[in-house]
Amino acid sequence: MTVARGPAGGSRAPVAPPASSSHPVATHDDLATDSLHSLARITAAVSMIRSRYTGSPDVAIILGTGLGALAREIAADVSLEYSAIPGFPLSTVESHTGRLLFGTLGGKQVVAMQGRFHRYEGYTLQQVTFPVRVMRALGARTLIVSNACGVMNPLWNKGELMLIADHINLLGDNPLIGPNDDSLGPRFPDMSQPYDPALRDIAREVGRHSRLVLREGVYAAVTGPNLETRAEYRMLRNAGADVVGMSTVPEVIVAVHGGMRVLGISILTDMCLPDALQPATVDEIIAVASRAEPHLATLVRGVLERL
């Protein structure tokens, strides 16, 4: 969902078409004959970034809907607008700033996306996940991805955090479709453990130490931008999902393909119980995410300190 659930999910409000930028962005027609995830395109983006940033990040972070303020926790040395980076789409969701930050958090060098992209904005999944390729090429070997999402598990409450243990891809697409460059990853990557067990162990330790309510469950990714119907919530719950959103899964697939370790964290922003369903608004979702953000910051910082 996202209305951000964008971060995690899709937007509940109408979204404007992707804005134009100072550099060309690959179109759907381009991608029919040329993979956006080519070494040439990745190298072009990295070269531009290297003109401003010469470090090597340990960890990449993707901040979801309503979670951009976590960027304040980063001691940033360099900040780049997405519009300045060749191949990067532009964020069109109001709660996504659209900036790449380089700095320090929890004693680690990090690169953080302050705002992400979604399929519902009109982007292909290769466009959505291109920044993951770039951050990996810059040196990041670990990805921490966050989102805001709707919760279908009746035993949980909005405002809590959830470690993503597994996911269900219901986007009807996959960012790895098309020619495979073996230098970026294998043709058939294994997805038996997309969310690194050791990183989840560390997160649980941080949660216990910080006395955080930390759930663990399955994230279902849908396209959005509308929120789901009662029947759809029942279907998703019966399929084994605890939460639902409109993001995260494409980035995780590409990160795993590229050999990165992944930690996924969701903020539960609205209750999606079909027999007691209430209308949800974007403002409410963002407000819940913002109130829970200090807990997310505590968890992420604690994980980084223990890596």
CATH number of residue 212's parent domain: 3.40.50.1580
Please tell me the pTM assigned to this model: 0.88
Domain membership flag for residue 2 = no
Query: Is the preceding peptide bond at 186 cis, omega within 30 degrees of 0?
Result: no
* Rounded-to-10 torsion of CA 111, 114, 120, 126: -20
What distance in Å separates the CA atoms of residue 164 and residue 162, rounded to the nearest whole number?
A: 6
pLDDT tens string 154-204 = 999 999 999 999 999 999 999 999 999 999 999 999 999 999 999 999 999
Closest CA to 4 of 260, 298, 210, 287: 287
Mean pLDDT for 285-290 is 91
* pLDDT level of residue 33 (50, 70, 90 thresholds): very low
Coil, strand or helix: which one is 165?
strand
Give the separation between CA 30 and CA 229, rounded to whole angstroms: 35
Q: Which domain holds residue 173?
A: 28-306
Give the three-class secondary structure for 35: coil
Check residue 5 and give its pLDDT.
44
Which position has the higher pLDDT, 49 or 281? 49
Let me know if residue 159 belongs to a domain: yes
Residue 124: pLDDT band (50, 70, 90) is very high
**What confidence tier does 267 reach under pLDDT thresholds 50, 70, 90?**
very high
Q: Report the phi/psi class of residue 211: left, alpha or beta, with left for phi > 0 and alpha for psi in -120 to 50.
A: left
Which of 265, 243, 212 has the alpha carbon at shortest distance from 63? 265
What values do phi and psi take at 146, rounded to 5?
Answer: -120, 160
| pLDDT at residue 211, as a whole number | 97
Query: pLDDT tens digit string along 197-247?
Result: 999 999 999 999 999 999 999 999 999 999 999 999 999 999 999 999 999
Distance from C-alpha of 129 to C-alpha of 249, rounded to nearest angstrom: 10
29 C-beta neighbours (distance < 10 Å), count:
8
- CA-to-CA distance for 101 and 71, rounded, in angstroms? 8
Give first-to-last CA distance, the chain, whole Å.
30
Q: Is pLDDT above 90 for 142?
A: yes
23 within domain boundaries = no
Does residue 176 sit within a domain? yes
Domain count, the chain: 1
Reading the block at residue 184, the tokens are: 């970026």
Asked if the structure places residue 22 within a domain, the reply is no
Q: Kindly tell me if the per-residue pLDDT of 110 is higher than 50.
A: yes
- Domain annotation covers residue 238: yes
Quote the DSSP letter at residue 269: E
Q: Is residue 96 a part of any domain in this protein?
A: yes
In a domain, 190, yes or no: yes
Percent of the chain whose predicted confidence (pLDDT) is above 70 = 87
> Across all residues in the chain, what is the average pLDDT?
88
